[in-house]
Structure 1
């Protein structure tokens, strides 16, 4: 606790020190930026205040999604500059600077045809933006993400970590809810499926560590919202890319967009082939007998993929827009593996050795479709209504053949078949309504209904006397049916430098799981209230303070509830628990934000208290490790977070992210006490270099500390990604080279001790090298599209 008191004292001292930088009276300037021809809002336009004498920039912001902006200053000699790529910049000098509040009204920007004719590659550097209840990470063309998926992009976002198996954590904790465009998606239910979203497709990532009542209460450590790009520039815009790499990685991507007065049509295509190798090692040891089972081997995931997105926006008029979009992806998988097993006695003598080979084939069709209606009311720029209906469907038809072949010692010959028929259908219906009653008071309300219908038909067959017979003990059809109805109400107050949001969300959950073959069912029905409070105070142009509280829930999913498992390694078995209950978390945080010259930095402290914590518990029998999730006690976490960006020169930029937390675990399971204290930390350092001849270089270093777990220890990890880019063909084309995990040092290593047994597991994906070429045509930009999937 001494370190946390020191961090909190430093935070308060920093606020006091920097808060005294400026005490002059603030002037507030606001307005709305629109496109001159269509009168549509221009999101992410740059609004800068410029010193009237020196012409130097005083401060600046980017416009919100509805084109609005609000900016404050203590200067009294300035003018306003508004700019946006592809449009003629506008400077406003005619307004009353003696007023504390200046409303510039509607500001129209005209298209710059000369600039559009020379296609530019913009947004080269990703940047962070803080809002009242979230942090927005605007995605640039980061070089180390060339040919990468959403998982690699997430790994570069402050506070977020993704391990080599695709598991996502936020501030060191799992239980993260991942959304696509603000809504649940089939792609987020399976971490690997996020690989079908590629870096070039992402506009921004919103990290919400303490979500307000407006958001689904799912996710005890917070929400990550991935917002997909949708180009809306008039005319025909497009780009294509070609990528190749080692291991085998070949893909083609095409993006097209056409905008007219009434319609905006958009599409993205991708196809290719990828190979993902993995090395692994496992050791199970019985400390009573001294016997052990060792396994070492390699497995591969070989994928062919096809992906198409189609959509259109229809502008009924200036205030009403309807969007209809759909996505179809189809994957063909081949998963061969070759694992060598060795059984040792107490004196480490080899008693038997055998090989287990796997040949798995699967097809995965995926559908996603969405209908959205948005109404902007004329009485106020923030008065709007949003209705949406989304459907997601994911299927998997998988067959596997396992063959055990004895090399020496005890006869281990065995042949097994498995069949999996999996279907996952999710439907989301959502309504959001925002009503400002004045310049300072706002109400937000809405409702959401989510239906999850999942089926997993799993069969195991053993070869007996030349005939495959169904193993009834390992075969069943698991059905998962969950419905969640939510409604929320939020009151907001914002005046001058201070803002406050208070909200309450109600969610009713109805869950039924059934093992069809044995007719075993489990029903859960519960209703919960989730309050939230968020506040912010701007001390000066350089210093802001944010604080928040929210209550969260983490409902176990199908994989955690389904008791049936695959038999890929029959000495390390993972299965679910149908009786598992949800986790509940109370989350508190306090953050300070400083913007000083060439440096911006953020420092915060946070606390989370979780009940009915879900942990995987390993049980050993005859050197077989069976892990199952259980609700075990409570977890109290106290942490500190630090982020900074510094540009010492025009050609050099550093981004640094550091996260530390210490935790206190308390719990008992089957008379075993799991009380312990621990800590963990992670850090990222990104360096960007602008070299001669228009060559850019980027290096991203990551470190994750060792951390104590319920039954053991997970090892520390350090790895490096680099990327190089060269613009060609008058900036219309881009050549990229990226190397992820340069030193092949990114791995997963875990030690488990339970009673008189120990288990060790290690795995590594290895180095990935990709080279790509992108070209933009029409009014498009060169992009970096891989179209494929990274697991």
Structure 2
């Protein structure tokens, strides 16, 4: 039996106006406890109603306590008792025949009602985008919260966001996006793992896309911030899931996720093991235009890994307003790189003068350790009035040894053997304190501080085989030490009315960077302090049309591998190295974005402008047919662009999502007396179609296109490729079969060409088609989960 609105109104009015006018000796006390039939967990806030047998109108009522218990008094004589809770089948009890002052119903077990649940969620069918001052909020509806979909798949449905084969997330075509979970750095969102694949879509409440971050956020990076907000629902009891995956090239994994919730604790864990293989077809052509000599190289590079992963953590609810979280993640990768490259030297007459092969045998162990400590206080009376402290530690190591052996096939003798050894250690600590106070419904104050410490040591050694004995190469052997400390303070104030809002703030960051080549004593110290202002505003013309505008100043600090001067000698005719003298990039970013909702279609149109100084570009130098790539600061870049994205669902079984981005840029700069002034443009597009087929099967196809574009030296070729996915739900969504094909037509090829007066360089790389098949099963209240292991470093 289900409630009607009229019944609920009667019950509310009765409870509101009930009196104690009835004689105490006529009262009947009704007691009991309500639990779930599966698992026996108590159900809080279930409705217990006493209703008249003839009229069906409520006479009295109450709700259950946190432990599921209830007690209800009535002086009625002709009644029945009904117990209900959203998503469960109602239980009805008649009044006992014998008169008794106490009716004890004992333990009442409610059974889940799948039909009722479907009626509830259908209202949130379509995912929609809305503006909130400095961010675009993508609310996840039922069309995406399908059992089995992971957070990575949901991100791939968000306008402006793209996720590639390895799970790397880009925003407006740019990588380096900072991903947060509930507004803070997290083990789950770390670059070191693919743990985002363990968050299912139905766990996500919304995704906040911040393309122009306010002063509240770290000023690092220019691509923006993606904040994944997890639902607050409590799933008490033992929940979990298991996932088994296989694919080609060889990729196999097993993952188990467990979660146990009680009144005070939420215990969670994840165990995973797997192997994966990543081959790359490569080709390089170095042409010396002065001496008319060419070196051709081609082959397959492999990176094979066996990995083990464990996550343990707990949320401790100290009381209603204080929560303490502690979690940790340990992973071990065992890595092999059995690669082979064929070389050919071609003389000025076009004849091949020699052929040889370069074979690599690399073995490495990569331990990873992360921890997270978080304390959150919600002030009574306002859940948005919060104090949050978080500490995140990240440790990574690499113990690697490699052997490179050249074997002559014909022509000149190119036999050679090299050994390399790498002992790498990195520690990153992030401490953050945030305070938010919405002191009125319209006005909010935010303030906080952050401290980030990055400490790295890389001991690298190269030895050459000479006359049967290995000799150290001092030019390629050194210990590189990198230490960076960043202290940040910020404050923002915002006003958000019914239609109009504004947010402004200022961030101060002080950076202390030092690098040292310990063996040679070369040091580089940088110490600088910068202010990062921001201002954002939005206006809601109607429920259909909104407008947002913003400005922020950003910084890109050179990464470790941008600064590390050590050579990568896998291909000793195509060498990459870092530059310890690099300066940071600074960007002033402006944008105006609009959103228009037309029926079942949402349209987003934006224009943006970015001005960047000390732009970091990789520049190639050429000597003896050896190209050396090294990052340099080269001038300025002015970029102006337009972005358009839309989502259209004309019928329930079909959804179309489109994303288009076009930008023009103007480069100005000088390097080594060479002027690099030029203009260019680039554009990208993504079109995704999703079909709901019979038998609970979902089909998804995504086409991606990236136009060609210029850098200071290179021309990057365009790219067109398609991904495909199929998903079949089983056992009412508790189990999922999935099939995915990345780069369906094997058309995704990374290709670049450098044409200079004295040399030409051509590079191409292709990973090919990836096919994977998976099965996931959720138990308790767990959902079927995707587990695809650790992301490569």
- TM-score range normalised by the length of the shorter chain: 0.7 to 0.9
Counterpart Cα distance in 2 of 1:692 and 1:715: 40
Listed as ranges, the matches of 1:206-225 within 5 Å are: 206-225=208-227
Match of 2:661 in 1: 659
Please give the per-residue CA displacement for 1:434-485, whole angstroms capped at 9, x wherever unaligned. Answer: 1122222111000000000011111101112222221111001101000000
Match of 1:18 in 2: none
Give the TM-score taking structure 1 as reference length.
0.82
Please give the per-residue CA displacement for 1:473-509, whole angstroms capped at 9, x wherever unaligned. Answer: 1001101000000000001111221111000000000
Q: Does the CA contact (< 8 Å) of 1:430 and 1:448 recur in 2?
A: yes
Listed as ranges, the matches of 1:77-116 within 5 Å are: 114-115=112-113
Choose from 567, 572, 575 the match for 1:573.
Answer: 575
Q: Name the SS of the counterpart of 1:594 in structure 2.
A: strand
Q: CA deviation at 1:232?
A: 3.7
Choose from 692, 698, 701 the match for 1:699.
Answer: 701
1:501 partnered with 2:503: yes
Counterpart Cα distance in 2 of 1:490 and 1:460: 51
Q: Does the CA contact (< 8 Å) of 2:459 and 2:479 recur in 1?
A: yes
Counterpart Cα distance in 2 of 1:593 and 1:313: 38
For structure 1, the residue ranges without an aligned partner over 5 or more in a row are: 1-35, 41-83, 90-110
Match of 1:198 in 2: 197
Q: Does the CA contact (< 8 Å) of 2:187 and 2:329 recur in 1?
A: no
Counterpart Cα distance in 2 of 1:734 and 1:301: 30
Q: Does the CA contact (< 8 Å) of 1:153 and 1:199 recur in 2?
A: no
Q: Does the CA contact (< 8 Å) of 1:201 and 1:228 recur in 2?
A: no
Match of 1:520 in 2: 522
Choose from 595, 600, 603 the match for 1:601.
Answer: 603
Choose from 764, 767, 780 the match for 1:765.
Answer: 767
Q: Name the SS of the counterpart of 1:198 in structure 2.
A: helix
Match of 1:559 in 2: 561
Q: Name the SS of the counterpart of 1:730 in structure 2.
A: helix
Q: Does the CA contact (< 8 Å) of 2:446 and 2:493 recur in 1?
A: yes
For structure 2, the residue ranges without an aligned partner over 5 or more in a row are: 1-40, 46-84, 91-108
Q: Does the CA contact (< 8 Å) of 1:164 and 1:764 recur in 2?
A: no
Counterpart Cα distance in 2 of 1:725 and 1:165: 20
Q: Does the CA contact (< 8 Å) of 2:159 and 2:646 recur in 1?
A: no
Q: CA deviation at 1:196?
A: 5.5
- Taking a change above 3 Å as real, the CA distance of residues 652 and 231 of structure 1, as seen in their structure-2 partners, is same
Counterpart Cα distance in 2 of 1:241 and 1:118: 28
Match of 2:638 in 1: 636
Match of 2:26 in 1: none
Counterpart Cα distance in 1 of 2:110 and 2:516: 61
Q: Does the CA contact (< 8 Å) of 2:216 and 2:507 recur in 1?
A: yes
- The alignment yields a C-alpha RMSD, in angstroms, of 3.1
Q: Does the CA contact (< 8 Å) of 1:382 and 1:436 recur in 2?
A: yes
Counterpart Cα distance in 1 of 2:568 and 2:402: 10
Match of 2:135 in 1: 134
Q: CA deviation at 1:781?
A: 1.3
Q: Does the CA contact (< 8 Å) of 2:364 and 2:401 recur in 1?
A: yes
Choose from 723, 727, 730 the match for 1:728.
Answer: 730
Match of 1:309 in 2: 311
Listed as ranges, the matches of 1:521-560 within 5 Å are: 521-560=523-562
Please give the per-residue CA displacement for 1:341-386, whole angstroms capped at 9, x wherever unaligned. Answer: 0010112110111000001111111111111111111243321100
Choose from 333, 336, 339 the match for 1:334.
Answer: 336
Counterpart Cα distance in 2 of 1:212 and 1:567: 42
Q: Does the CA contact (< 8 Å) of 2:193 and 2:789 recur in 1?
A: no
Give the TM-score taking structure 2 as reference length.
0.82
Counterpart Cα distance in 1 of 2:215 and 2:129: 23
Listed as ranges, the matches of 1:146-185 within 5 Å are: 157-161=158-162, 169-173=170-174, 176-179=177-180, 182-183=183-184
Listed as ranges, the matches of 1:461-500 within 5 Å are: 461-500=463-502
Match of 1:777 in 2: 779
Match of 1:28 in 2: none
Match of 2:396 in 1: 394
1:320 partnered with 2:307: no
Counterpart Cα distance in 1 of 2:524 and 2:392: 28
Choose from 243, 262, 265 the match for 1:263.
Answer: 265
Match of 1:286 in 2: 288
1:689 partnered with 2:687: no
Q: CA deviation at 1:140?
A: 8.5
Counterpart Cα distance in 2 of 1:88 and 1:513: 66
Counterpart Cα distance in 2 of 1:573 and 1:586: 33
Counterpart Cα distance in 2 of 1:598 and 1:529: 43
Choose from 417, 430, 433 the match for 1:431.
Answer: 433
1:786 partnered with 2:788: yes
Q: CA deviation at 1:301?
A: 1.2
Counterpart Cα distance in 1 of 2:238 and 2:117: 13
Counterpart Cα distance in 1 of 2:554 and 2:494: 20
Match of 1:102 in 2: none
Match of 2:621 in 1: 619
Aligned length, in residue pairs: 691
Q: Does the CA contact (< 8 Å) of 1:175 and 1:554 recur in 2?
A: no
Counterpart Cα distance in 2 of 1:476 and 1:187: 35
Counterpart Cα distance in 1 of 2:633 and 2:790: 36
Counterpart Cα distance in 1 of 2:699 and 2:566: 48
Q: Name the SS of the counterpart of 2:579 in structure 1.
A: coil
